[in-house]
Amino acid sequence: MEKKTVESSSSKEADKNAEKEVFAAVWCNNIKKIKELISQKVDMNIQDGFGDTPLIKAVSRNFEEMVQVLITAGCRLDMQNMRGETAVITAAKAGNEKLIHPLVKAGADVDICNIHGETVFDFVKNADAIHALKQARQSEKGRKVQKFKDFVWGASAQKIVQQFETKNFLTLLRLYGLFAEAYQRLGVNEIEKVSSLLKGQVTSHEQVQMNKIYRAKVKTQNVRA
């Protein structure tokens, strides 16, 4: 028991030291160090005593390259500090449109309010440009959705099976309501393989859909035989 306590304590201490290194690297604009920490899988979504994240700190210091590195690393864009401010609100308050644009382009929510009920649009001078950027992002998202739908509707059974072997395919099918459509594209053998792949991952409703489609496919196959 004592050994586990010591190990747990050592782990927590290591985490605290890593967090200190992250904020120190951001504060000094040490790009090399922050990339090294990212490669070591150090959490980039930590918050200091004020609730600021490394991304918010980088924005407040006007470090454009550091902000881009953190965005590319997959930092959560919409985390709020104790004032309710996100990275994009921080940039807007500073009047720094050079940082607003990459944040919005990456998916930052411009409609989040701080504790005073203020959004990005309460601070920016060129609100039209931000609206245009938001619309462009939504249009791009729409194109991606349509591209995914086109794939499901037009792909071969073999390609769909290959996609089921990836992590995100089932999530996207659920998101866009295409689970049954994807299953309909499969033959009996492919359905059996996918059913094995998805064992324990599907909901009861999805299982009912799978069984219904499978029985219909088997019936059709037997008729043809």
pLDDT by residue (tens digit) across 77-131? 999 999 999 999 999 998 888 898 889 888 888 888 999 999 888 888 777 777 7
Q: What is the pLDDT of residue 6?
A: 44
**Is the model's pLDDT at 9 over the cut of 70?**
no
Residue 16 CA to residue 95 CA, distance in Å, equals 33
**What value does the mean pLDDT take over residues 64-75?**
94
**Is the model's pLDDT at 5 over the cut of 70?**
no
Domains of the chain: residue spans and CATH = 2-139 (1.25.40.20), 156-224 (no CATH)
Q: What is the pLDDT of residue 97?
A: 81
Buried-state track 26-42, b at ≥16 Cβ within 10 A, e below 16 = beeebeeebeebbeeeb
Q: What is the pLDDT of residue 224?
A: 74
Q: How far is CA 102 from CA 19, 25, 97, 173, 180, in A?
A: 25, 21, 9, 29, 37
Percent of the chain predicted with pLDDT > 70: 91
Q: What is the pLDDT of residue 148?
A: 87
Q: How far is CA 122 from CA 28, 48, 110, 215, in A?
A: 30, 26, 11, 58
Q: What is the pLDDT of residue 28?
A: 96
**Is the model's pLDDT at 4 over the cut of 60?**
no
Start-to-end Cα distance in the chain: 66
pLDDT by residue (tens digit) across 192-202? 998 888 888 88
pLDDT by residue (tens digit) across 22-47? 999 999 999 999 999 999 989 999 99
Q: How many CA atoms lie within 13 A of 1 on its CB side?
A: 0
Residue 35 CA to residue 69 CA, distance in Å, equals 8
**What value does the mean pLDDT take over residues 197-224?**
86
**What value does the mean pLDDT take over residues 62-88?**
94
